[in-house]
Amino acid sequence: MTWRFGLTEATFEPLWLTHWVLAATLALPILFGLLGALFSPRRTLPVALVCVPILLTGVLLLMEYQQAGLLRWQWQVAGVTVSLRLGGVSILMLLVTQWVGAAAALYTPGHLRLTNPGKQARWLWPLMGVLISALSLIWLAADLLTLYAALELMGLAAVGMLLLSGKPAALQAGMRYLLLALVGSLAYLLGVALILGYWGQLNLQALAEVVEPGPVAWIAAALIGAGLALKAALFPLHGWLTPVHESAWTPVSALHAALVVKASLFILLMLWNILLPSSLFAPRFVAWLGMLAIVWGGLVAWRSDSLKTLVASSTVAQLGYLMVAFPLIIGPDIPPLPKALAWEGFWLQLIGHALAKAAMFMAAGNLILATGESSLKGLAGTSRRLPLSLLIFGLASVTLMGLPPSSGFTAKWLLLQAMVMTQQWVAVVALLMGTLLTAAYVFRVFRYSFDETAPRHHYQPLAPSMDLVALALALAAFALGLLAHLPLALLQGGGV
Amino acid sequence: MNAAWLPLATLATSILAAVVIFLLPEESRRLRTGINLAAAVSKIILVALMVGRVSQGYQDTFSFQIVGGIDFVLRADALGVMFAGLSSLLWLCTTIYAIGYLEGAANRKRFFGFFSLCVASTLGIALAGNLFTFLIFYEMLTLSTYPLVVHAGTAKALAAGRVYLRYTLTGGVVLLLGTVMLYSLTGDHSFASERGLAPYLNDHRGLLTLIFVLLVGGLAVKAAMVPLHGWLPRAMVAPAPVSALLHAVAVVKAGAFGIMRIIYDLYGIELSVELGVTTALAIAASITIIYGSLRAIAQHELKPRLAFSTISQVSYVVLGVSLFGPFGTIGALVHLLHQGLMKVTLFFCAGNYAEELGIHRIDEMDGAGKRMPLTSIAFTVGALGMIGLPPVAGFITKWYLGIGAIQADMYWVVVVLVASSTLNALYFLPIVHRLWFRQGPAHGFGEWPKEQRLGRLETHGWLLWPAVFTAMVSIGAGLLAGLPFSPLDWATRVAIGEYLP
């Protein structure tokens, strides 16, 4: 199974141009972020210009990958070996990161112009740059230490961005998040230390060859798993997630829910795949938690009165779908066909959710900004006054509900098919329940918004870029349903 | 020669219309009307082209791969084109009616945008070439109908929307489960495949029956079969054009049409009989027919009575499908069209009475025939057709269903048909009697609940002519049933294709 993560020998050496593209991929976001702090752009156009070269590096890497297949890099830096690889999953997630990051960046100027948050807003740009670079590094890293460094960098940048809004509630939630993230890192580091002490390997590929099942692997996997689950807000360690989003700025929430939690989940899946190649219990345990997450997240979102809590709790439930797929991907005795289906469904669900959740946070942010109210009741009458924002919210929620023809539906279909083939009926029921629960909380929003009897009050006009960016994300999540073979074809090429 | 563009273009017409309508501002009323009518007319032309191609023996197919083993397929076959023809013809009538009905109302952009999406979904359902594609459009129909049900934005409408979603989304989930299980068992299975699922019978008898129950159970929600019918009467809170097209034709027929696809094109009629599922379905349909009629008699308001009548009438289609034999099939297919025409007429008329005179309850209708003669004639035609009196189209349906039941040796079905016709007469004839033979406000006794003079004629022309037109088509379909390309002729063609491959 490690070949699926691109942890195999490469056929070709990277060209010299590819080295530079790689360097640009990792460095440009930070560089432009610093520029952002200097100039503090208030218009969309300069931001768009800056996004172009970053997106270009991703496209170049994609072309390189399609020509040469898997690519590997290895350097000795101060006695430590840093190794990177560009496999199918890496390039796919790199592209998603860059495009969602660009969307969040394009959304930001309009948001800052309308909310006018003061001087500290300029620091959003470098933090955003660091976040994108760190995420890119996570998708590429192929040794435990680089992964750790990138994870830590990402976590700190995320905390910094969440603290920026400066409200007391944000400070409190942010500090709690920081504390928990540090605990998570510590657990992860302990696991890594255990691995290093026992097998003397940090390189993932080498590690996969020497690891053998036993108490050491189990304890290391448990430590790493607990730490990463805390960072990824996997049920039942998700308590910090909702308060954090409650007071964060919209683009920050979008980035966080779309990408940051996914990165920890990705590392978790990859490392367990190496450490627990044929464990029966651990992935099952995660799957059971995932089912609970689907139900619990859905119920919390259903009962919530605040729009942001609703959107944030839905992340908990949506992560549950991914957790439910764990036994299919890393469990033993799964025939190749359902395994391949589950693998494709997992990534499609992850990408679809990233795009749709970013769009949904933006749409929710727009609604809150325009109406000036953050409760569901405040939405009364918006279907007449803010139809576009509501339409975007609707498109995004079709993906989250997993109804056709969205990417959420195709992903759910793939997962369901794998589950039916392996007779996991409880998981099937959980997935279907999830659809209904999601519909229940999403349509609460629409019920309020279609209310025509509400009193009219003044609405703040929105910048067009804010709606357009969100619409593009929602449409992308939608279109990937019927065009699912485009991203999934990349996953196939990794094992040449 | 395969004209792949034809089904795609037909589908794209109304999706494009929806997108353009969403992009236009709320105020540009004339442009929106123009786009609506242009799209509806061009859709009829495209469907007519498809009918021509199918009658020449072509099956135009458009398909592409979504993921490995799953294709998106649109195919113009005889059965699909029949349903597409019905929905596109009635779409034009209903669009005209809706433009008149919503004159001066709020949120018209939203209404017409989602209305076009609904019709696109219905067309997708008609042309879907495999179960996966069918499922896509079936769920799209659920989502795009919701904004129309809650259009009024009142507490009652919002509550009805919630009930509607609860039923249809749950049905959709059950259908999804059945579809996934079928794909896991057999892989992608086109509706055009000749073999049916018979090769799986020996090893997977129980599983095939379970999948059948899941699929038909999911579809029966939209077909409003008892006890899954609860959403339909409540959804009558929607504006009249929505009730007319969607709840009398598109949504409920989507369920009935889906059941047809499952039995004829997926399982195959022999296999369904072998599994014994058709008898169960016939019993369920008969219960629905009788129950719907009984409940209709108990209603005091016009639209709910029509709604319960729909519940009862749609199950004729299901009943015909579950009779093994060509006559039952013809009866089912032809009723799909005839019931649509007659029911849409009745709902148009109900909307006219409500708009022009403020009539919602049946006991307010005394003497309305004098005040609104054309509307009342159209209503009478529809009502007589529903009872099954010649020469209106409804007679043909019941005739063929009766012959089909006798041929299938299911004599109790004939009893059901007779009982149901009696019940139909019991709840429709009093209305007709009130319209023409009671003295009311038009004769100087009392006054109408809320009279408006909407036009030079008895009501607004945009409201009147669609009702008159569909009433005339209902009679025409009955009188001219022997001509080529009449509903009966086309249904016979489909049925022959089913039984003589």
Residue A493, pLDDT above cutoff 60:
no
Q: How far apart are CA A197 and CA A20, in angstroms?
A: 35
Using pLDDT thresholds of 50, 70 and 90, give the confidence band for residue A495. Answer: very low
Q: Quick check: is A255 in a domain?
A: no
pLDDT of residue B500: 62
The average pLDDT across A165-188 equals: 89
Residue type, B234: R
Q: Quick check: is B85 in a domain?
A: no
The average pLDDT across B24-30 equals: 85
Considering only CB atoms, A451 lies closest to which of B135, B153, B176, namely: B153
Q: Quick check: is A274 in a domain?
A: no
Q: What is the pLDDT of residues A13-24, one digit of tens each?
A: 888 888 899 999
Using pLDDT thresholds of 50, 70 and 90, give the confidence band for residue A62. Answer: very high
Residue A341 domain boundaries: 293-496
Helix (H, G, I), strand (E, B) or coil at A71: strand
The average pLDDT across A154-167 equals: 88
pLDDT of residue A345: 93
Q: Quick check: is B97 in a domain?
A: no
**Angle at the Cα of B456 from the Cα atoms of B452 and B458, rounded to 5 degrees:** 60
* Residue in B11, B19, B64, B66 to test binding to A, most A beta-carbons within 10 Å: B66
Q: Which of B116, B96, B148 is nearest to B22 (CA)?
A: B116
Residue B362, pLDDT above cutoff 80:
yes
Q: How far apart are CA B277 and CA B292, in angstroms?
A: 22
Q: How far apart are CA B362 and CA B367, in angstroms?
A: 11
Q: What is the pLDDT of residues A359-368, one digit of tens each?
A: 999 999 999 9
Q: Quick check: is A125 in a domain?
A: no
Q: Quick check: is B301 in a domain?
A: yes
| Residues of B whose CB is below 8 A from A436 | 169-170, 173
How is residue A203 annotated by DSSP? Answer: B
Q: Note whether B175 contacts A: Cβ–Cβ < 8 A.
A: no
Q: How far does the CA of residue A392 sit from the closest CA of chain B (Å)?
A: 12
Phi and psi for B53 in degrees, rounded to 5?
-65, -40
The average pLDDT across A410-429 equals: 92
| Residues of B whose CB is below 8 A from A428 | 177
Q: Quick check: is B297 in a domain?
A: yes
CB A404 within 8 A of CB B135: yes
pLDDT of residue A496: 34
Instruction: Identify the helix (H) or strand (E) that includes residue A231.
Output: helix A215-231
Q: Note whether B173 contacts A: Cβ–Cβ < 8 A.
A: yes
Handedness of CA A383, A387, A390, A396 (dihedral sign): positive
How is residue A60 annotated by DSSP? Answer: H
Q: Do the chains contact at A387 and B177, CB–CB below 8 Å?
A: no
Q: Calculate the CA dihedral of residues A313, A319, A323, A329 and round it to 10 degrees.
A: 170
Residue B326 domain boundaries: 292-501
Burial (0-12, 13-18, 19+ Cβ within 10 Å), A386? buried
Q: Note whether A482 contacts B: Cβ–Cβ < 8 A.
A: yes
Residue type, A274: I
* Residue in B21, B62, B67 to test binding to A, most A beta-carbons within 10 Å: B67
Q: How far apart are CA A462 and CA B56, in angstroms?
A: 55
Q: Do the chains contact at A410 and B66, CB–CB below 8 Å?
A: yes
Phi and psi for B71 in degrees, rounded to 5?
-115, 155
List B70's β-bridge partners, or say none: B67
Phi and psi for A116 in degrees, rounded to 5?
50, 65
pLDDT of residue A276: 86
How many separate domains does chain A show? 1
pLDDT of residue B501: 52
Structure tokens at A449: 């918004």
Q: How far apart are CA B24 and CA B111, in angstroms?
A: 13
Going by DSSP bridges, is the β-strand pair A80-86/A71-77 parallel, antiparallel, or unpaired? antiparallel
Q: How far apart are CA A242 and CA A296, in angstroms?
A: 13
Residue B478 has a CB neighbour count (10 Å cut-off) of 25
Q: Note whether B360 contacts A: Cβ–Cβ < 8 A.
A: no
Q: How far does the CA of residue A376 sit from the closest CA of chain B (Å)?
A: 15
Q: What is the pLDDT of residues A380-396, one digit of tens each?
A: 878 778 888 899 999 99
> What single string gives the DSSP state of each residue in B26-38?
TT-HHHHHHHHHH
Q: How far apart are CA B336 and CA A459, in angstroms?
A: 48
Considering only CB atoms, A447 lies closest to which of B72, B106, B158, namely: B158
Q: How far does the CA of residue A329 sit from the closest CA of chain B (Å)?
A: 18
List B65's β-bridge partners, or say none: B71
Measure Cα distances from B293 to B141, B296, B395, B426 in Å: 27, 5, 17, 9
Peptide bond into A335 cis (omega under 30): no
Give me the interface pTM, i.e. the ipTM.
0.90
| Residues of A whose CB is below 8 A from B170 | 436
| Residues of B whose CB is below 8 A from A488 | 67
Q: How far does the CA of residue B170 sit from the closest CA of chain A (Å)?
A: 7
How many separate domains does chain B show? 1
Q: Note whether B110 contacts A: Cβ–Cβ < 8 A.
A: yes
Q: What is the pLDDT of residues A243-297, one digit of tens each?
A: 888 888 899 999 999 999 999 999 999 999 888 887 888 889 999 999 999 999 9
The average pLDDT across A399-411 equals: 91
Residue B213, pLDDT above cutoff 90:
yes
Residue A206, pLDDT above cutoff 50:
yes
Q: How far does the CA of residue B37 sit from the closest CA of chain A (Å)?
A: 24
Residue B457, pLDDT above cutoff 90:
no
Contacts of B319 (CB under 8 A, 6+ apart): B282, B285, B286, B289, B328, B332, B401, B413, B416
Measure Cα distances from A458 to A378, A386, B25, B405 in Å: 12, 12, 20, 65
Instruction: Identify the helix (H) or strand (E) that includes residue A351.
Output: helix A336-371
pLDDT of residue B444: 78
| Residues of A whose CB is below 8 A from B147 | 383, 450
Using pLDDT thresholds of 50, 70 and 90, give the confidence band for residue B463. Answer: confident
Q: Quick check: is A267 in a domain?
A: no
Measure Cα distances from B110 to B36, B114, B117, B258 in Å: 13, 6, 11, 28
- Tracing tokens 């289609």 back to the chain, one arrives at B317
List B62's β-bridge partners, or say none: B74
Using pLDDT thresholds of 50, 70 and 90, give the confidence band for residue A1. Answer: low
- Higher per-residue pLDDT: B456 or B472: B472
Measure Cα distances from A435 to A267, A302, B177 in Å: 27, 13, 12
Q: Which of B9, B492, B87 is nearest to B257 (CA)?
A: B87
Q: What is the pLDDT of residues B374-406, one digit of tens each?
A: 999 999 999 999 888 877 888 888 889 999 999
pLDDT of residue B364: 86
Q: Which of B476, B486, B457 is nearest to B345 (CA)?
A: B476
Q: Which of B128, B180, B184 is nearest to B11 (CA)?
A: B128
Q: Do the chains contact at A384 and B106, CB–CB below 8 Å?
A: yes
CB A89 within 8 A of CB A491: yes
- Tracing tokens 């039995």 back to the chain, one arrives at B263
Q: Quick check: is B307 in a domain?
A: yes
Give the E-state strand segments of A55-179 in sequence order: 71-77, 80-86
CB A207 within 8 A of CB A274: yes
Q: Quick check: is A121 in a domain?
A: no
Burial (0-12, 13-18, 19+ Cβ within 10 Å), A122? middle
Q: How far apart are CA B421 and CA B384, in angstroms?
A: 10
Q: Do the chains contact at A482 and B66, CB–CB below 8 Å?
A: yes
pLDDT of residue B481: 79
The average pLDDT across A326-339 equals: 86
Q: Do the chains contact at A435 and B169, CB–CB below 8 Å?
A: yes
